[in-house]
A = this chain, B = another copy of it.
């Protein structure tokens, strides 16, 4: 047993491309992204809308501009994500009384509940994705990844 799940194993893995860190990073991300997307689909969320919802539900009270910069999305894309989330009653735009140009994004109770369900779903698949590493390895990997991702900037 064990051979039943064997995959095709392309000979192209033996090339320099197959061990290029940038290529591996892209591949690992594609797998992670696909798993997260699939787990969120039943909830009517995509990775982007879930990210926005999660930041709102974290009580960070982000402005649209902050969301745009942190998620590296164009401000106009934030608009459409928020339109969708607000239309479902999961998020509200609150005008900032100190600067009436800016909106602060807050999650509703329904939004928090939806976010909790979504988080549970993505954590399940991410755990499965990281199951190829033991706990120590996963911790090491994430610590190095955090620096590579430029966390904090």
Task: Please report A residues at the B interface, Cβ cutoff 8 Å.
Answer: 7-33, 36, 47, 51, 54-55, 58, 60, 62, 66-67, 69-70, 72, 122, 126, 129-130, 132-133, 137-138, 140-142, 144-153
* Residue pair B141, A145 in contact (C-beta under 8 Å): yes
User: Considering the chains assembled together, what is the distance between the CA atoms of A50 and B69 in angstroms?
Assistant: 29
In the complex, what residues of B have CB within 8 A of residue A20's CB?
126
Q: How many copies does the complex hold?
A: 2
Apart from the given pairs A10-B153, A130-B148, A132-B147, 10 other A-B contacts in the complex at a CB distance below 8 Å = A8-B69, A12-B66, A16-B58, A17-B54, A19-B146, A19-B151, A22-B126, A24-B148, A28-B29, A31-B149
* Residue pair B141, A144 in contact (C-beta under 8 Å): yes
> Which of B9, B36, B141 has a CB less than 8 Å from the CB of A152?
B9
**Closest approach, in angstroms, between the C-beta of A54 and any C-beta of chain B?**
5
Given contacts A132-B148, A144-B141, contact A8 B54 (CB under 8 A): no
In the complex, what residues of B have CB within 8 A of residue A60's CB?
11-12, 14-15
**Closest approach, in angstroms, between the C-beta of A5 and any C-beta of chain B?**
10
* Residue pair B150, A17 in contact (C-beta under 8 Å): no
